[in-house]
Amino acid sequence: MTHEFVKGCHQPDIQISRFCPAIQQLMEEHLVLIPIMKQIYNRTESIQASELDTMRKEVEAFMDQLEKHSYKEEAYLFETLAKYVGSDSGPIAVMEYEHHTAKAYLNRFLFEIEDNEDAVQTLRSGVELLEEHFEKEEKVLFPMAEHLLNQEEKLMLEKHIL
């Protein structure tokens, strides 16, 4: 099954320049991560046993980059936005749940890669979830943060995220 990567920052209606520098940085990180996700996803469509090791290394390298990105969101952006919208339920809780679930899929793939054919499907599920997650951040969460956070908070984010 072909999966079209057409969401997230690929949408021409999202103008990165209208966001504060910290959110612009997070969006630009999506632009770096999305092509890697696409490459990994496409590779799952015809994976050979001899390619598994390369695939593992690619996924591990991707997870390092994803971890740095999601940490900035959780520790700074979500933390600050939670003062306005709470974090027990609602958008922050959903975003954190999706970080956790996507990483769990990727970790499960790495754990199962040697001896389970379904491992590739687990990887695909993780990548699909992440793609939807990025789109939600760009269309809902980042605009919400841009609107609600004050200048002082945006400057604080800039120090930590840039």
The CB-of-25 to Fe ion minimum distance in angstroms stands at 10
Type of residue numbered 106: L
| CB within 8 Å of 67: residues ≥ 6 apart | 103
56/103 with CB nearer Fe ion:
103
Q: How far is the CB of 117 from Fe ion (least distance, A)?
A: 30
Site string for Fe ion, 50-89 (x = CB under 5 A): -----------------------x----------------
**CB closer to Fe ion out of 95 and 113:** 95
- Residue closer to Fe ion (CB basis): 138 or 153: 138
For the purposes of burial, counting CB atoms within 10 Å of the CB of 92, is it exposed (0-12), middle (13-18) or buried (19 or more)? Answer: buried
Map the footprint of Fe ion across residues 98-157, applying CB under 5 A: 137
34 in Cβ contact with 131 (< 8 Å): yes
Rounded CA-CA distance 124/130 in Å is 10
Q: At what angle do helices 119-136 and 21-44 cross, to 10 degrees?
A: 150
Footprint of Fe ion on 1-60 (CB under 5 A): none
* Minimum separation from the CB atom of position 143 to Fe ion (A): 13
Q: Which residues bind Fe ion (CB under 5 A)?
A: 73, 137
